């Protein structure tokens, strides 16, 4: 379109929105939205949800409520511990969501959700209502007896704790002992603690000679990508890593920097204590969390509607599904949910056979990575997402090429979520 045609087109569009009122010409009121959606939490699940709901939901008004003005990605945050990244390279804003897609972004804390009236209450006192509420508030951590301060940071939600753990590692003496604890599954990013262990082990070799890394895993075995991680622990990292499975932390003594565990007392100079995880307290308070372990929110994976409250949808790490708790999966769940709501608002039904996929790279050294991938398909009989047999694959080992691909995969995922 040349400039003249563009100007004519935009002028006719402007004229079309003018209407005659009794006292003269006035701008027509904006169209009444077909439906209203509130998204709680602007992380990997919530930001994708808000964007795609606007893209696919014709005339759907979307309000995204997020407590922080910027999102700091947990994905890639272990590289901050080895000084290969800084948090600013993992920080994303909400400008594109509001400017490009028309999402109404509200920076505030959601303090209550009413699943019957479909309203949310914000810390500022504002109340918002909608036809549907999509909750993507991520995870909360179990309390660990004795842990009253940040002396043993989890750094499992990126931010201040990540910086603190990086500082503790940097300040540790040579010949020191680092401890990483892994909670019982399910937890956020199944390969995450093992890849962090590999990365830190590689860093210790270069930066803190004669140091040791003890990995205390509450699970009976490495929970994912066992071939690669056990080869790494027994191969390049054998002199540094001591991996112990079936060891649970029962309490801590921050003064003595020690852990009481099911396997005895363990002391460390730096302790990366990753507690057991559950759905955000807001999901619990809203009555969405149930099931045998009572930790996450069961959903109908055709639309991510909560089984406890059908007008509330739960995506990302707070939901209980058969898919891993991962940013890539949160992004996929958001798209399935946005598609389902777009169809419902138009009088249709959710897609009866959704497919999601997950790709994940794990750092095995500071310059090499492995990968893991899976495709999940809806199983109508069991009403769950099941992995497609041939799609469950992992790389045979780790290479610098996969490390480079990891950076590209991350850039693509974050652009799809926030740009």
Ligand X SMILES: Cc1cc2nc3c(=O)[nH]c(=O)nc-3n(C[C@H](O)[C@H](O)[C@H](O)COP(=O)(O)OP(=O)(O)OC[C@H]3O[C@@H](n4cnc5c(N)ncnc54)[C@H](O)[C@@H]3O)c2cc1C
In terms of CB distance, is 122 or 308 closer to ligand X?
122
Backbone φ and ψ of 244, nearest 5°: -125, 120
Backbone φ and ψ of 277, nearest 5°: -120, 160
Taking a C-beta distance cutoff of 8 angstroms, is the pair 325, 189 a contact? yes
In terms of CB distance, is 249 or 330 closer to ligand X?
330
CB of 41 to ligand X, least distance (A): 3
Interatomic CA distance for residues 176 and 162, integer angstroms? 20
In terms of CB distance, is 43 or 57 closer to ligand X?
43
CB of 358 to ligand X, least distance (A): 7
CB of 282 to ligand X, least distance (A): 5
Per CB under 6 A, residues contacting ligand X are 40-46, 65-68, 71, 74-75, 77-78, 109-110, 136-138, 156, 188-189, 192, 280, 282, 316-317, 325-328, 330, 360
DSSP element (H, E) containing 194: helix 192-207
Long-range contacts of residues 207-211, Cβ cutoff 8 Å, at least 24 apart: 208/172, 208/173, 208/174, 208/175, 208/176, 209/174, 209/175, 210/174, 210/175, 211/172, 211/174, 211/175, 211/176, 211/177, 211/178, 211/240
Taking a C-beta distance cutoff of 8 angstroms, is the pair 417, 411 a contact? no
Taking a C-beta distance cutoff of 8 angstroms, is the pair 405, 370 a contact? no
Interatomic CA distance for residues 270 and 203, integer angstroms? 14
CB of 72 to ligand X, least distance (A): 8
Q: Which residue is nearest to ligand X (CB)?
A: 43
In terms of CB distance, is 40 or 147 closer to ligand X?
40
In terms of CB distance, is 211 or 331 closer to ligand X?
331
Interatomic CA distance for residues 185 and 53, integer angstroms? 31
CB of 123 to ligand X, least distance (A): 8
CB of 209 to ligand X, least distance (A): 26
Taking a C-beta distance cutoff of 8 angstroms, is the pair 192, 215 a contact? no
In terms of CB distance, is 109 or 207 closer to ligand X?
109
């Amino acid at each position: 379109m040349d400039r003249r045609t563009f100007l004519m087109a935009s002028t006719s569009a402007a004229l079309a929105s003018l209407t005659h009122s009794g006292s003269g010409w006035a701008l027509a009121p904006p169209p009444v939205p077909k439906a209203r959606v509130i998204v709680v939490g602007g992380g990997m699940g919530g930001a994708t949800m808000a964007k795609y709901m606007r893209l696919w939901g014709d005339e759907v008004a979307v309000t995204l409520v997020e407590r922080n003005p910027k999102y700091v990605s947990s994905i890639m945050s272990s590289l901050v511990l080895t000084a290969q990244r800084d948090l600013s390279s993992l920080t994303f804003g909400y400008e594109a969501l509001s400017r490009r897609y028309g999402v109404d972004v509200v920076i505030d804390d959601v303090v209550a959700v009413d699943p019957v009236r479909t309203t949310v209450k914000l810390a500022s006192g504002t109340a918002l209502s909608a036809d549907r509420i999509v909750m993507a508030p991520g995870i909360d951590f179990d309390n660990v007896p004795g842990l009253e301060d940040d002396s043993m940071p989890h750094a499992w939600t990126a931010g201040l704790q990540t910086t603190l753990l990086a500082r503790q590692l940097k300040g540790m003496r040579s010949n020191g002992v680092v401890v990483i604890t892994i909670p019982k599954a399910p937890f956020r990013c199944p390969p995450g603690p093992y890849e962090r262990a590999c990365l830190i082990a590689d860093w210790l070799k270069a930066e803190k000679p004669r140091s040791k890394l003890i990995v205390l895993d509450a699970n009976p075995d490495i929970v994912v990508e066992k071939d690669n991680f056990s080869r790494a622990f027994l191969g390049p990292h054998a002199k540094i890593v001591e991996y112990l499975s079936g060891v649970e932390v029962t309490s801590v003594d921050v003064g003595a920097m020690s852990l009481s565990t099911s396997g005895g007392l363990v002391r460390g100079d730096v302790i990366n204590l990753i507690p057991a995880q559950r759905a955000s307290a807001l999901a619990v308070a809203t009555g969405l969390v149930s099931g045998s372990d009572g930790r996450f929110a069961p959903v109908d994976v055709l639309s991510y509607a909560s089984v406890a409250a059908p007008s509330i949808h739960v995506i990302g790490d707070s939901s209980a599904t058969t898919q891993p708790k991962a940013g890539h999966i949160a992004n996929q769940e958001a798209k399935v949910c946005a598609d389902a709501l777009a169809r419902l608002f138009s009088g249709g039904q959710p897609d009866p056979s959704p497919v999601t996929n997950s790709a994940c790279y794990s750092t095995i050294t500071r310059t090499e990575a492995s990968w893991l991938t899976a495709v999940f398909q809806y199983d109508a009989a069991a009403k769950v997402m099941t992995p497609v047999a041939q799609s469950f694959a992992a790389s045979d080992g780790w290479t610098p090429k996969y490390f480079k691909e990891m950076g590209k995969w991350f850039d693509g995922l974050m652009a799809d979520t926030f740009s």
